[in-house]
Amino acid sequence: MINKINNIENQESNHNLSNSNDYDVNSEFVRILDALKKYGPRNLSLIAMLTGLPKETVRYKVKKQLKSMGFMIKTVPHYYRMGLERFFGIVSFTKNGNKYAQEILDWLGVNSYLSYYGKIAFSNKYIVMLSPPTKWSSELIDMFEELATRDIIAEYDFKEIVEVGYPHVSYRLFDFKKCEWKLDGDFEYNADVISLQRISQKEAANYVVDSLDLAIIAELHIDAFKPLTEVATQYGKDPRLLRYHFQEHIVRKGLIAGYLLTWYPKGERSLDIARWWVSFGPRSEKELSKLRKMVSSSPFCKSYQVASDGSFISYMIAEKQLIGAINNLSKKLEEEGIFGEPVLEQDGANFTITKELFTNATGWLRPPKIPLINIIKDEVKHKHLNLF
- Please measure the distance between the N-terminal and C-terminal CA atoms of the chain and give it in whole angstroms: 55
Asked if residue 41 belongs to a domain, the reply is yes
Q: What are phi and psi of 189, to 5 degrees?
A: -65, -30
Question: Which string of DSSP letters, residue by residue, matches 271-333?
Answer: TTSEEEEEEE----HHHHHHHHHHHHTSTTEEEEEEETTS-EEEEEEE-GGGHHHHHHHHHHH
Q: What domain count does the chain have?
A: 1
**Do 127 and 347 contact (CB within 8 A), yes or no?**
no
**Do 314 and 278 contact (CB within 8 A), yes or no?**
yes
Count of beta carbons in the 10 Å neighbourhood of residue 232: 19
Asked if residue 44 belongs to a domain, the reply is yes
Beta bridge partners of 316: 276, 301
Buried b (16+ CB within 10 A) or exposed e, 321-340: ebeebbebbeebbeeeebeb
* Those residues with Cβ within 8 angstroms of residue 192's Cβ, 6 or more apart along the chain or in another chain: 13, 14, 15, 170, 172, 173, 297
**Do 325 and 179 contact (CB within 8 A), yes or no?**
no
pLDDT at position 336, please?
Answer: 86
pLDDT at position 21, please?
Answer: 47
pTM of the model: 0.86
Asked if residue 149 belongs to a domain, the reply is no
Amino acid at 285: E
pLDDT at position 199, please?
Answer: 84
pLDDT at position 206, please?
Answer: 73
Asked if residue 26 belongs to a domain, the reply is yes
Amino acid at 359: T
pLDDT at position 31, please?
Answer: 95
Integer angstrom CA distances of residue 32 from 44, 58, 66, 251, 301: 10, 7, 10, 22, 22
pLDDT at position 59, please?
Answer: 95
Q: What are phi and psi of 274, to 5 degrees?
A: -105, 145
Q: Decide: helix, strand or coil at residue 268.
A: coil
Asked if residue 18 belongs to a domain, the reply is yes
Among residues 313, 305, 314, 321, the alpha carbon closest in space to that of 273 is found at 321
Asked if residue 360 belongs to a domain, the reply is no
Question: Which string of DSSP letters, residue by residue, matches 78-141?
Answer: -TGGGTB--EEEEEEEPTTTGGGHHHHHHHHHHHSSEEEEEEETTSSEEEEEE--BGGGHHHHH
pLDDT, block means (10 residues), the chain with 388 residues: 36 38 71 93 94 95 94 93 95 95 97 97 96 95 96 97 92 89 61 64 80 97 95 97 96 91 78 87 93 84 94 88 75 86 91 96 96 80 48
pLDDT at position 191, please?
Answer: 38
pLDDT at position 204, please?
Answer: 74
Tell me the residue range of the domain where 51 lies.
Answer: 13-69
Question: Which string of DSSP letters, residue by residue, matches 134-183?
Answer: GGGHHHHHHHHHHHHHTTSEEEEEEEEEEEEEEEPP-GGGEETTTTEE--
DSSP 13: P
Asked if residue 361 belongs to a domain, the reply is no
**Do 355 and 211 contact (CB within 8 A), yes or no?**
yes
Asked if residue 23 belongs to a domain, the reply is yes
**Do 164 and 86 contact (CB within 8 A), yes or no?**
yes
Q: From CA 68, how far away is CA 77, in angstroms rounded? A: 25
Buried b (16+ CB within 10 A) or exposed e, 158-192: bbebbbbbbbbbbbbbbebeeeebbbeeebebeeb
Among residues 302, 328, 299, 296, the alpha carbon closest in space to that of 315 is found at 302
